[in-house]
Structure 1
Amino acid sequence: MNHTSLNGELIDLRAGDYEARIAASGATLVHLRRQGRDLVIPFDAETALPGAWQGKTLLPWPNRIAGSRYSYRDVEYLVPCNEPETGAALHGLVGWTDFAVVGPETNGVAGADAPAPDTVTLALRLPASYAYPWSLDVTVRYELDAQAGLTVTTSATNTGAAVSQAAGVVGAPVQEGAPAPAPYGVSCHPYLTRSVPLDECVLQMPAERVLDVDKHMAPAGERNVTGSDWDWRAGRRVGATATDNAYTGLPDGVWQVRLTGGADERSVVMSADAPWVQIYSGEHLGRRGVAVEPMTCPPDAFNTGQDLILLPTGQSHCFTWRLWEED
């Protein structure tokens, strides 16, 4: 079923026991269910906006740019502040932008007899701007599989950059006669849930280090998690622990985060291979779940350069993550 809503076009996907709803605004995951059980905190996309960035696609930066400004190749850029309490620019430029729906896809079967689609691709041209003078072609592909659950792949291609040709207009830095590569980072924002209070659930997450932040949520140094409330490697009951931190020191290759709880003690599992993951205990959503945000770079990477992706004109980057329920 496809129809428009306050959150843009809505697309329903189904495969085996799994069903998902995607909203075109922000290429957003509205809900993901298996046998009727919520795997992420859902919201009513027909009548309401998501809370606390539920399900949004985050690019060309994840997390925050401290002070809503960044310096790149000796050029300073101002970006809109959308988190007044910290003065930061939060979660990129596409979270509230309407993507075009390219799919859905139904394995080549068309017409009235076609099954519910299991795949949809959403596409967006992010134009160059004063805040970010690079143009990106972005696609987000959601694919449901009866065994594998939900796989999401976000791709971005640098299609060119605007250079300054007028006084007061900030463009991309020029090096050796060509625009500098686009600084880039990407993430997602699902809230894993077991439909019981987060305090009652067990969280397992394999990171060895945590990034501390100051009162403005800007990076203030990494530390080892051993012996602290931020050590989730063995899996433990969340209880009253609160976190809104970026973690790193993750295993090479694909890693997993697991949230277990509820009467049936099943687990919802996320996998990715990004070098960072933000874990947020969901206070803004009543601690009904935990945000698990695999990130290609840490907070404020546009200023620090840490793990920042640099995309030359014509080159692309792909980012994949997966969610499923484990019995």
Structure 2
Amino acid sequence: MSTVASTAAPTGGQYHLRHAGPDGVVEAVVTEVAAGIRELRVAGFDLTEPFPADQAPAGANGIVLAPWPNRVAGGAWQLDGKTQQLDISEPKYGNASHGLLRFAPYRVVDQTESSIEQQATIHPQHGWPFTLETRVHHELVEDGIRITHTVTNRSGRPAPFAIGSHPYLRAGDTPAEDLVVRLDAATAFTVDERKIPNGTRPVEGTDVDLRQGRRAGDSDLDTAYTDVTPDAEGIRRTTLHGPEGDGVELWQDASFPYVQVFTSREFPRGDGKGLAVAVEPMTAPADALNSGEGLRWLEPDESWTGSWGIRRVWS
């Protein structure tokens, strides 16, 4: 593994991982800031949307979301009958968005040619009176990458948390418009004008039903799903594939029962903007600090671990 530590890079150090798999070399670049995935490919076939080292990750591309994914309504939530006010990081909607580590550097605690483990501590701050130690382990495998998150409560009291990640998936050179997105989820969250969940609905008969596959270019999604059908091993899977069948899969274990699918038409493309598809594994939906849905509480010094990954799939 090689490391490029650049103070000029918006995402800090760049950690290059490599693994010689049976179907070709697996490569990735993981960043110091936000423990993000900047590049990921198998035998030259891109599995995520890459971005240059001298640019910030547009649209939260590839970053870890902790201690909550998505949004907290108005940045406010209740703890022991008192209002906690987080800093507003999404002025457009007036919410606190994507946690407290989006621009934070992580510290390397272990590394090999094909893996890296990084650690970052969430300290008490506006609206967050807890200390959480977080670790992210990226490991290349034969067909992609496996990411394992560990959260430990270092506070003297029980602490809540939720975790997510924000990769934009890609299937080689297939235009994003032509990718077919498939997710076997029966229920979608509905949201208000600030994109805060206000209920759920069955996907049957709606334009957010991905169970039989839906072309990304014909979709307008910023949708969180629940009731995602797991396989026999408890794994939930979202796949994107091109017309020839080759594609990419994001899998998530039982610790990540929710997934957000986002078809952004503002993604940087050369000199302009275009479509990209984010698939976000989450342990809880948006506004979990208020709703409590999916929110986990850790006792002092208690730890939690969960995993997800991205892999190439062939026709």
TM over 0.5: yes
Contact 1:204 1:258 survives alignment (8 Å): yes
Displacement after TM superposition at 1:148 (Å)? 4.1
Question: In the aligned structure 2, how far is the partner of 1:52 from the partner of 1:98?
Answer: 18
Q: After the TM superposition, which residues 1-327 of structure 1 pair with which residues of structure 2 at under 5 Å, given as runs?
A: 1-5=2-6, 6=9, 7-16=11-20, 17-45=25-53, 47-105=54-112, 117-145=113-141, 147-161=142-156, 179=157, 181-194=158-171, 195-252=173-230, 253-261=234-242, 264-273=244-253, 274-285=256-267, 286-327=273-314
Displacement after TM superposition at 1:63 (Å)? 0.5
Question: In the aligned structure 2, how far is the partner of 1:134 from the partner of 1:237?
Answer: 43
Question: In the aligned structure 1, how far is the partner of 2:302 from the partner of 2:265?
Answer: 39
Segment of structure 1 superposing worse, 184-193 or 310-319: 310-319
Contact 2:189 2:198 survives alignment (8 Å): yes
Q: 1:125-156: CA deviations, max 9, x gaps?
A: 221223211111111000002x2420000111
Contact 2:26 2:143 survives alignment (8 Å): no
Q: Structure 1 length as normaliser, TM-score? A: 0.87
Displacement after TM superposition at 1:73 (Å)? 2.6
Corresponding letter in the other structure for 1:14? R
Segment of structure 1 superposing worse, 47-56 or 230-239: 230-239
Percent of matched pairs sharing the same residue: 32
Displacement after TM superposition at 1:79 (Å)? 0.6
Displacement after TM superposition at 1:122 (Å)? 0.5
In structure 1, list runs of 5 or more residues that go unmatched: 106-116, 162-178
Deviating above 3 A after TM superposition, structure 1's stretches of 4 or more consecutive aligned residues are: none
**DSSP 3-state at the match of 1:153:** strand
Displacement after TM superposition at 1:199 (Å)? 2.1
Question: In the aligned structure 1, how far is the partner of 2:298 from the partner of 2:75?
Answer: 22
**DSSP 3-state at the match of 2:5:** strand
Q: Structure 2 length as normaliser, TM-score? A: 0.90
Residue of structure 2 in register with 1:174 after alignment: none
Question: In the aligned structure 2, how far is the partner of 1:23 from the partner of 1:137?
Answer: 18
Structure (1 or 2) with the greater strand fraction: 2
In structure 2, list runs of 5 or more residues that go unmatched: 268-272
Question: In the aligned structure 1, how far is the partner of 2:228 from the partner of 2:82?
Answer: 33
Query: Which protein shows a greater Rg?
Result: 1
**DSSP 3-state at the match of 2:17:** strand
Question: In the aligned structure 2, how far is the partner of 1:239 from the partner of 1:95?
Answer: 29
Corresponding letter in the other structure for 1:87? G
Question: In the aligned structure 2, how far is the partner of 1:14 from the partner of 1:74?
Answer: 50
Judging changes above 3 Å, is the alpha-carbon distance between structure 1 residues 141 and 188 closer, same or farther for their aligned structure 2 residues? same
Displacement after TM superposition at 1:255 (Å)? 1.0
Question: In the aligned structure 1, how far is the partner of 2:12 from the partner of 2:262?
Answer: 27
Question: In the aligned structure 1, how far is the partner of 2:307 from the partner of 2:200?
Answer: 26
Displacement after TM superposition at 1:38 (Å)? 1.2
Question: In the aligned structure 2, how far is the partner of 1:310 from the partner of 1:87?
Answer: 26
Contact 2:42 2:143 survives alignment (8 Å): no
Question: In the aligned structure 2, how far is the partner of 1:260 from the partner of 1:287?
Answer: 18
Contact 1:72 1:303 survives alignment (8 Å): no
Corresponding letter in the other structure for 1:282? S
Question: In the aligned structure 1, how far is the partner of 2:71 from the partner of 2:160?
Answer: 14
- Taking only aligned residues, the RMSD between alpha carbons, in angstroms, comes to 1.3
Corresponding letter in the other structure for 2:101? V
Contact 2:41 2:144 survives alignment (8 Å): no
Residue of structure 1 in register with 2:270 after alignment: none
